[in-house]
Chain A
Amino acid sequence: QVQLVQSGGGLVEPGGSLRLSCATSGFDFSDHYMTWVRQAPGKGLEWLSYISSRGTTIYYAESVKGRFTTSRDNAKNSLFLQMNSLRVEDTAVYYCAKDGYGLSFDSWGQGTLVTVSS
Chain B
Amino acid sequence: QSVLTQPPSASGTPGQRVTISCFGSSSNIGSNTVNWYQHLPGTAPKLLIYSDKQRPSGVPDRFSGSKSGTSASLAISGLQSEDEADYYCAAWDDSLIGYVFGTGTKVTVL
Contacts and interface: CB of A to CB of B under 8 A. Distances in A.
A37 interface: yes
B101 A106 contact: no
If over half of A's interface residues share one DSSP class (helix, strand or loop), that class is named, otherwise mixed; here it is: strand
Nearest to B103: A44
A44 B44 contact: no
Contacts of A106: 47, 50, 56
A59 B99 CA distance: 9
A102 B35 contact: yes
Interface residues of B, number: 29
Contact of B99 (A35, A62, A108, A109): A35
A46 interface: yes
B50 A100 contact: yes
B32 interface: yes
B68 interface: no
B44 A47 contact: no
Q: How large is the interface on A (under 10, 10 to 19, 20 to 34, 35 or more residues)?
A: 20 to 34
B104 A104 contact: no
A62 to B, nearest CB: 8
B69 interface: no
Contact of B54 (A35, A62, A101): A101
A35 B91 CA distance: 14
B101 A46 contact: yes
B45 A108 contact: yes
Interface of B: 2, 32-33, 35, 37, 39, 44-47, 50-52, 54, 56, 86, 88, 90-92, 96-104
9 residue pairs, one from A and one from B, having the closest CB atoms: A102-B51, A108-B44, A104-B50, A44-B104, A104-B35, A47-B99, A102-B50, A45-B101, A102-B33
24 contacts: A35-B99, A39-B39, A44-B88, A44-B101, A45-B101, A47-B100, A59-B97, A59-B98, A59-B99, A60-B98, A62-B98, A101-B50, A101-B51, A101-B54, A102-B33, A102-B51, A103-B99, A105-B45, A105-B47, A106-B50, A108-B44, A108-B46, A110-B44, A111-B44
Interface of A: 35, 37, 39, 44-47, 50, 59-62, 95, 97, 100-106, 108-111
